[in-house]
Structure 1
Amino acid sequence: MGGSPVSSGVHFVRKSLASGTAWYVYAWRGGPQILRAKGPRKPILTPADWVRVAEARRALEETPRDDVGSVITAFRQSAYWKELAVSTQRTWGQALERVEGKWGKAPLAIFNDARMKAKIVAWRNTMSATPRTADISVSVLSRFLEWATLEGRIILNPAHGIPTLYRAESRAPVVWLPEDIEALKAEAQQALKDAIDLAAMTGLRRADLVALRWHEINDLAIQRTASKRSRRKRYRVTIPRLPELDGLLNDLRQRPRREGVETVLVTSQGKAWTGDGLNSSFHEARKKANGGTGIWHTERDPVTGEERRTQKRLHDLRGTFATKIMTHPTAMLSNREIADLMGWSPEQVDEIRKRYVDDSAIVVSISRRLQGEV
């Protein structure tokens, strides 16, 4: 519990009455009365009086406080919080610190006023220079208030329905080309090369890459419970095995690993990767790639013609996997089937197909005709 409102000592109040002097003794200033005595001198408390003081203070400590900071503490000790992934707890914890910095000492009941929505928007706008941080802060505040309503602590959630500031562009069209992967692997140690290859051949997200275990791979597919949650539930991931994955898995089985390590990927020390560790190694290699210029996705704004550059991310290797299954010689998967597999829309798949698959096939066909091969 935070700072106590109890003063350090018992509070004595002397009153002159027609019948003489009276003393009113309180467990603390503003606290409950524990004794009323008559006489000109301040009364001396008996052991029984001190027991009543202790009981009053204990009762105060056990009384739930309703300021925002105290309720946030309760939220972080709840079953709801414990169900969150560790990485989510870390992100939400940072957002809750911002909420507490703004409203920590205020009573939670202030959020029962619908006019608080405008104040939350104003608070969000103070973080407009970092729109994703602003949006995460409002989103976490909304989740916290949602929990508080379910607990019966408040009846409104004014943070719900506030629009986001950040306008995320779809990452689906961002794909690692063979030359990009070659440039990255030139700066990577073997353990990172393994992670890059596995990502490109499976389309798994980072959290699932580092957590994938051997028993989750069968002859036809990879099947595991995804690390990412959807509506607070984990969903089942099933990824078909590409033929070229066989060789990589054979190599990965030969990597030195510590006893008890069951993950498919291991670090150079034979331990399981952490998500943060893989990210750090990836960023370091990407920074050194191409002579220190990095690896970028470049496109032109269709309206202004201005060139836009975005650093390619580990997550974008999912797009590379998508192109592999699009070009599989016998699978002939539709955009809808690939979209369901990747968790994208058919339109996103169509954009990748047109940009990286169909256009390339057309160019190759034209080149062959020009060279008289067809």
Structure 2
Amino acid sequence: MEGKLVGVHKVNVKLADGTVKTYYYAWRGKGAPQIKAKPGTKAFTQEFVRLTRGREKDAQTGTIGSLIDDFRKTAEYLKLAPSTRRDYERQFATIRLKFETFPIKAIEARGSRLLFLNWRDTMKDSPRTADMHIALLARVFSWAKGNEIILRNPLEEVTRLHEGTRRDIIWSDEQLEALLTKAAPHIQKVARIALWTMQRQADILTMPTLAFDGERVSIKQGKTGARVRVVAAPDILPLLREAKEGGRQRVLVNSFGQNWTSSGFRASWRKEMTRIGVKGVTFHDLRGTAITYAYANLDRSHDEKIKLISEISGHSSADAESIIRKHYLAGQEVIDAIGRGTKKD
């Protein structure tokens, strides 16, 4: 593994007893930090990436490295949510380890697709990670093609290795009732806002009180940049009014009355789910649950329902319809569970 990481400095030291011990450093020279993880492991690569992240230099012109640098300066990239960019930066670091000096001209050459996919397959033990890396590289190539830097994107229509999907999972009536009646109040409030707005966790936790005008909630989705206005359902109006009248900066706060952090919420969520005995579902699965609920209650045609749900939730029409077709028959028990929970305040 270390042989593939450009810049790793290997030092053999003879100890007093005559044995030789090998040390690895992130780069050659004074002040270079030691890599303490075991060579040849994923942890070794991750530590190398972390230690060298701050030493990035301008990439050689005409290479994938320079292509990544140019992509990172685009408005398309800069408008992404900070958390998304942080994830991408970690993935870019791994891509650079392999393809930093790969010529742009060679991207278009016949056989390049197989080369990139073979690299992806070296991560097949972590299929979701492999898919994320190749998808990001494909996105860079798509941008390059759109700007006529390259004429062919060799990573179009790549089949995913990871077959799992959360779209097939929604909360059962028992799980929802436990969440909405037994969880701590500050966790319940987050869940209620999630169910009645169909928004992502990050957008809910950072929702400012200014977003509520007394009737609707205006939301700019961090992941997509889309702006939506959601009518505040009667079930969450008290929460929104309480936050506004209390002069808070954000609608939702933790048990100490402070703004949530993403890590703090995840820790509190895991703790509460363990305490109330909810397993097998995630916070994100509340979105699919809410979609099922909304579809069953909207008094509109099928196409109108799909369009409206997609506009609010941020899902594509195809994804929204997939969720509904999978779960609509179970929808009534979900609806009943939400109804029971919201009426027991």
Q: Give the structure-1-normalised TM-score.
A: 0.61
Higher-RCO chain (CA-CA 8 Å, sequence separation at least 6): 2
Superposed, which structure 2 residues align to 1:110-129 within 5 Å? 110-129=106-125
1:339 aligned onto 2:303: no
Is the CA contact 1:174–1:319 (under 8 Å) kept in the aligned structure 2? Answer: yes
Aligned residue type for 2:62: D
Cα distance change on mapping 1:63 and 1:349 into 2, 3 Å:
closer
For 2:54, the equivalent position in structure 1 comes to none
Q: Which among 281, 288, 297 is matched to residue 268 of structure 2? A: 281
1:339 deviation in Å?
Answer: 2.8
Q: Confirm or deny that 1:197 pairs with 2:184.
A: no
Bigger Rg over Cα: 1
The whole-number CA distance in structure 1 between the counterparts of 2:251 and 2:182 is: 22
- Cα–Cα, structure 1 residues 88 and 271, in superposed 2: closer, same or farther, change >3 Å? same
Q: Residues of 1 paired with 2:172 and 2:84: CA distance? A: 27
Asked if 1:272 corresponds to 2:259, the answer is yes
Q: Counterpart of 2:331 in structure 1: which amino acid?
A: Y
Report whether the alignment pairs 1:93 with 2:89.
Answer: yes
Offset at 1:133?
A: 1.1
Structure 2 distance, partners of 1:314, 1:62, is 40
Change (3 A) 1:220 1:97: same
Summarize the Cα distance change of 1:151–1:244 in structure 2 as closer, same or farther, 3 Å threshold.
closer
What letter is aligned with 2:195? A
Aligned ranges for residues 323-334 of structure 1 at < 5 Å? 324-325=293-294, 332-334=299-301
Inter-partner Cα distance in structure 2 for 1:89 and 1:66: 23
Distance 1:205 1:335, change over 3 A: farther
Q: CA RMSD in A?
A: 3.5
Tell me if the contact between 1:187 and 1:289 (Cα under 8 Å) persists in the aligned partners: yes
Where does residue 210 of structure 1 map in the other structure? Answer: 205
Q: Structure 1 residues 90, 63: CA separation in 2 closer, same or farther (over 3 Å shift)?
A: closer
Q: Classify the secondary structure of the residue corresponding to 1:106.
A: coil
The number of residues matched between the two structures is: 274
Distance 1:143 1:347 in 2: 24
Q: Is 2:343 the counterpart of 1:356?
A: no
* 1:83 maps to amino acid: K
Q: Map residues 146-295 of structure 1 onto 2, 5 A cutoff.
A: 146-150=142-146, 153-169=149-165, 171=167, 173-177=169-173, 179-182=175-178, 186=182, 188=184, 190-229=185-224, 234-253=225-244, 257=248, 261=249, 263-290=250-277, 295=278
SS state at 1:171 partner: helix
2: CA distance, partners of 1:268 / 1:359:
28
- TM-aligned CA deviation for residue 118 of structure 1: 0.6
In structure 2, the CA distance between the partners of 1:141 and 1:352, relative to structure 1 (3 Å rule), is same
Letter in 2 for 1:245: I
Give 1:99 shift: 1.2
Identity of aligned residues (%): 24
User: Which has more helix, going by share of residues?
Assistant: 2
Further displaced range: 337-346 or 132-141: 337-346
The aligned amino acid for 2:329 is K
Q: Deviations over 1:311-366 (max 9, x none)?
A: 211122224434554565xx6355444433332544532543311317999xxxxx
AA paired with 2:61?
R
* CA distance 1:176–1:252, shift in 2 (3 Å): farther
Q: Which residue of 2 is the match for residue 135 of structure 1?
A: 131
Paired with 2:148 and 2:157, the residues of 1 have a C-alpha distance of 20
CA displacement 1:19-54 (0-9 Å, x = unmatched): xxxxxxxxxxxxxxxxxxxxxxxxxxxxxxxxxxxx
2: distance between equivalents of 1:360 and 1:211?
A: 27
In structure 2, the residue matched to 1:315 is 284
C-alpha separation between the residues in 1 aligned to 2:138 and 2:261?
Answer: 29
How many Å apart are 1:100 and its aligned residue? 0.9
Q: CA deviation at 1:289?
A: 3.4
Partner secondary structure for residue 284 of structure 2: helix
Instruction: Please state whether the residue corresponding to 1:161 is helix, strand or coil.
Output: coil
User: Are residues 326 and 218 of structure 1, via their aligned partners in 2, closer, same or farther at CA, if it must alter by over 3 Å?
Assistant: farther
* CA–CA distance in structure 2, aligned partners of residues 246 and 130 of structure 1: 43
Taking the aligned partners of 1:358 and 1:62, their CA distance within structure 2 comes to 57
**Aligned-partner SS, 2:107:** helix
| Runs of 5+ consecutive residues of structure 2 not aligned to the other structure | 1-5, 8-56, 311-318, 337-345
CA contact (8 A) 2:65 2:96 kept: yes
